Structure 1
Amino acid sequence: MATAQSGTGRTITTRIPARLDRLPWSRWHWSVVIGLGTVWILDGMEVTIVGNIAARLSEPGSGLPITSGEVTGIGAALYVTGACLGALFWGRLTDVYGRKKLFLITLAVYLAATALTALSFDTWWFFLFRFLTGFGIGGEYAAINSAIDELIPARYRGRVDLLINGSYWLGAVAGALLSIVALDTSIFPANVGWRLTFALGAVLALVILLVRRHVPESPRWLLIHGRDEEAERIVGGIEERVTADGGTELPPAEGEMTIHQRTGTTFTEIARTVFGRYRRRSTLGFALFIGQAFLYNAITFGFGAILTQFFDVPSGNTGYYFAVIAAGNFLGPLLLGKLFDTVGRRIMISGTYVLSGALLFGTAWLFDRGSLTAATMTACWCVVLFFASAGASSAYLTVSEIFPMETRAMSIAFFYALGTAAGGISGPLLFAELTGTGKVGDTVLAFQIGAGLMVAAGIVAAILAVNAERRSLEDIAAPLSAATGPQEAAARP
């Protein structure tokens, strides 16, 4: 590694990004996925568990003076608000202080808040720690997605990101099944079972935290912030482990970059970069997050009411249908993820968005005609969400790889907060009203709104998506500290 002195810091020439990208898949990469990615399972468990225990919490003897509406209304809104604010707060700190410090801190915040939720004795306590649980989870999205993208080789980045973000639905299935057991009063008292669901989340978070301690800081972040010797040690250690696992010598790393090291990036520079130099990419991020948020809300915020009102499914049985829907959501990223690295980002992102929207239009038409049963409606939702889940996961992948290194975590945080706010605030206000009227036409309209926005986002992706497959992050968007200056990679998609 060559170094030279500059006015604001050292100028270095390095092959570290190329060395990381040329690595074959190994057990070390799996340890990164397990240590960082499994937190989305906890998020899925959290949201599902709270929805399932709402009725139990409102019953006499639960140990908490709260109504079901307060749990799913105020409690859910505070969780969403915490997630949005946490993403923005922790996202900024992740870019300033590094990925590792923040992915340890945010998980610790989640762990403590979830454990304290289990000890709730009054409504205000429950609301406070629901907010703080969301505050920790929101920060996880920025810290984890940025760290994973910077550690995973370029040719695997798409499928890994999709699988990790899609694992949320494994948590949803686990939360649904866990709730059935925990809320069985023949097994646990009414004031104990719901507490155990939160306590288990805290225990799982502690296990993940212990594994996560061994995940290194991003060498890419270290390089830019003047800690290149530490970056060299980390990458050298990774190469030794990968070589030992594979039993063969690594190929030479091709390509180097020269950067002017810096200590930080101002908000003004971030805003100018994201909304000025990369405004086409920002438009893409807006479209993808809004489209997937409204499609999901069109289905999920009314699925239980639709099954009970139109198909006479007992309210106690809707959880089984949800488990099937959640399985379809997970299978999408699992089975389609590789195609985002081989067929390409533009085709797969636009294709999954447009296809899921078109399928939801078809579902709305069949529902309006009265051609569906509870089983066939659920089957339709599964097919729609199989493609929509891959598309939604690709939204997180997209905003985590198309902006410069110095703005990555903050960009993820901003678009995550935007999508979460749209999904958790405006979505429920619109779709709960439509699907709750009991009128077929209103539910059809809810489906059509979600489908229309998803198709529109797919069209935007067909025009603006960046062909990021198998390309290094520095090639997609050069760091602001790059010696040649930041490049708008959209000029050569």
Structure 2
Amino acid sequence: MPARLDRLPWSRFHWLVVLGLGTVWILDGLEVTIVGAIGSRLTEPDSGLGLTTAEVGLAAAIYVAGACTGSLVFGYLTDRFGRKKLFILTLGLYLVATVLTAFSFNPVMFYIFRFFTGAGIGGEYAAINSAIDELIPARRRGLVDLAINGSYWLGTAFGAVLTVFLLNENLFAPEIGWRIAFGLGAVLGLVILLVRRNVPESPRWMFIHGRDEEAEKEVAEIEEGVEKETGTSLDRVPDDKGIEIHQRRSTGFGEIVRVAVTQYPKRFVLGLSLFIGQAFLYNAVFFTYSLVLTKLLGVPDDVAPWALVPIAIGNFLGPFLLGHLFDTVGRRFMITLSYVGSGVLLVGTAIMFDAGLLDAFWLTACWMVVFFFASAGASAAYLTVSEIFPMETRAMAIAFFYAVGTGIGGIIGPILFGKLIEGGIHDVVIGYYIGAGLMIAAGLVELFLGVDAEGKSLEEIASPLSAQTPAQKPAAKA
């Protein structure tokens, strides 16, 4: 069955998967940018909330905590109850929570709804990335994953432009504009939900969990649709491409941990390195960039958000333009190049910034180049952990590394950089060196421990835990 899915030519079915599942990253980019951009508005008494600056920071931390919690809880449920149930449930949770956020009338309500908004988004990552990898042909998996993960920055650019207009008091009252911003996120989420209803469950997951007849029917329908679309018959898959498995209803949490730590310890270290490096860089540097512009370079508050747009474009173009190289040149070389290259470029940017050679325009231009490579690497981190662990633990692996990386980067990074900004440009440069060091170190870990997964079936990269050994009695053939 995996070989039948991997041999399929690109078709409308695959576009349905991309549009129905991949657009969640746009929502996350939109959410994070909106909150960052409206932070100053929420501190105004006539905003309807009147938060302090510290409370705005607390709300951001609560969103991160919700995302980490949601990724772990829903990641486990995704492996246990299926991809489709959870990618519908998590999007539904996001929709309800972000709508309720728009109707927050005190800080406590705002905190609670931000937590559950984050939980929905965090849960999406585990359900979505596992489903995408299991439905997209192996030869296109790298390009598709990187392009989808890079779409986060489309949401960032859209959110930056959107808030400029929604915060304009000539157009919207102070207590209305920021609420509309959250409402528009819900509208986009509802459109995605309507498309997502038509995305099927992963046949790989169904087969292992004893629903082989449903899986066979689903794959046959996909194949029939592709043949009608292309007007040609698909090649028959040789019998030796099958995998003998022992079907199971669920996989315990203890087994998930044991597999990651004892069976794949090098891959475990690899995943941690990639996620911590990119999470620190993005959460520490990117999300404090407006403070660098306003506090250290004298850029007006109403102009600073526009700097996020070119940086977001650089972040999107990196995985979009380089993605196919991860399938052709290879994962190990390209991930190493992306991480080490962005780290070296960051060192160069720090040196010039410290020497007073960069104003706001040229610092933004340098960040566009740095994040062009860093974004490709960060997207590849999600690709890596979604394909190097067995199918039964895939969603939980994505959830774990996302939670650890986001937790460390989303807490330590911003706190550290907030302090460094108070000390001036020289102190900020020290933070840049730290971020560069973590990215270069992660790139070197990839060089020595990376997995050459390009063009390979997921089952070839990591055999399912349910796979039968020759000495075992065959149970079913996928």
Q: Contact conserved, 2:80 with 2:250, CA < 8 A, in 1? A: yes
Residue equivalent to 2:78: 94
Report what 1:361 is aligned to: 347
Q: Which residues in structure 2 correspond to 1:176-255 (within 5 Å)?
A: 176-254=160-238, 255=241
1:284 corresponding residue in structure 2: 270
Separation in 2 of the partners of 1:298 and 1:43? 17
8 A Cα contact 2:274 2:378, kept in partner: yes
Of the three residues 240, 244, 247, the one matched with 1:258 is 244
Partners of 2:60 and 2:48 in 1: CA distance:
20
Residue by residue, what CA displacement relative to the aligned partner does 1:460-484 show, whole Å, maximum 9, x if unpaired?
0000010000100000000000012
**Contact residue 298 and residue 449 of structure 1 kept, 8 A:** no
2:139 paired with 1:155: yes
In the alignment, structure 1 residue 62 sits paired with structure 2 residue 47: yes
Q: Using the alignment, how far apart are the partners of 1:322 and 1:202 within structure 2?
A: 22
Conservation of the 8 A alpha-carbon contact between 1:435 and 1:446:
no
SS of the aligned residue for 2:245 comes to: strand
Aligned to 1:475: 460
Q: Which position in structure 2 is the counterpart of 1:456?
A: 441
Q: In the TM superposition, what is the alpha-carbon distance from 1:191 to its structure 2 partner?
A: 1.6
Q: Which residue of 1 aligns with 2:364?
A: 378
CA contact (8 A) 1:47 1:172 kept: yes
Q: Whole-Å Cα distance in 2 between the matches of residues 297 and 448 of structure 1? A: 15
- State TM-score, norm by structure 1: 0.93
Matched, 1:305 2:291: yes
Partner residue, 2:432: 447
Q: Distance in 2 between matches of 1:436 and 1:134?
A: 29
Deviates more, 1:158-167 or 1:62-71: 62-71
SS in 1 for 2:187: helix
1:34 aligns with 2:19: yes
Counterpart code for 1:137? I
- How far apart, in 2, do the equivalents of 1:456 and 1:58 lie? 39
Match of 2:150 among 157, 162, 166: 166
Distance in structure 2 (CA, Å) of the matches to 1:294 and 1:67: 25
| Deviation, structure 1 residue 210 | 1.1
State the distance in 2 between where 1:37 and 1:339 align. Answer: 20
Q: 2:450 aligns with which of 465, 474, 479?
A: 465
Q: Does the residue aligned with 2:389 lie in a helix, a strand or coil?
A: coil
Instruction: Supply the distance in 2 between the matched residues of 1:196 and 1:380 (Cα, whole angstroms).
Output: 33
What's the offset of the Cα at 1:89? 0.3
Asked whether the equivalents of residues 284 and 410 of structure 2 are also in contact (C-alpha less than 8 Å), the reply is: no
Given that 2:142 and 2:324 are in contact with CA atoms closer than 8 Å, whether structure 1 keeps it comes out as yes
Deviations along 1:253-298, one digit per CA (max 9) or x if unpaired, are 2411111101111122111110001000000001000111122234
Q: TM-score, normalised by structure 2?
A: 0.96
Q: Distance in 1 between matches of 2:287 and 2:188?
A: 28
Equivalent residue runs for 1:394-473 within 5 Å:
394-438=380-424, 440-473=425-458
What is the rounded CA distance, in whole Å, between the counterparts of 1:297 and 1:229 in structure 2?
A: 45
Distance 1:91 1:201 in 2: 23
Shift of residue 194, structure 1, vs aligned partner:
1.0
Structure 1: runs of 5 or more not aligned: 1-15, 486-493
Match of 2:312 in 1: 326
SS in 2 for 1:316: coil
Mapped partners of 1:464, 1:139: distance in 2: 28
List runs of 5+ in structure 2 lacking aligned partners: 471-478
- Residue 251 of structure 1: how far off its partner (Å): 2.1
User: 1:158 is matched by which residue type in structure 2?
Assistant: G
Which digits, 9 at most, give the CA deviation of each residue in 1:329-374, with x for residues without a partner?
0000000000000000000011100000000011111112222121
2:284–2:409 Cα contact (<8 Å) kept: no
- Aligned letter for 1:349? I
2:449 & 2:252 partners in 1: Cα distance?
27
Q: What's the CA shift for 1:456? A: 0.4
Asked if the contact 1:220/1:231 (under 8 Å) is kept, the reply is yes
How many aligned positions are there?
A: 468
**Alpha-carbon offset, residue 247 of structure 1:** 1.8
What secondary structure is seen at the aligned counterpart in 2 of 1:96? helix
SS at match of 1:61: helix
- State the identity %: 63
Distance 1:202 1:295 in 2: 29
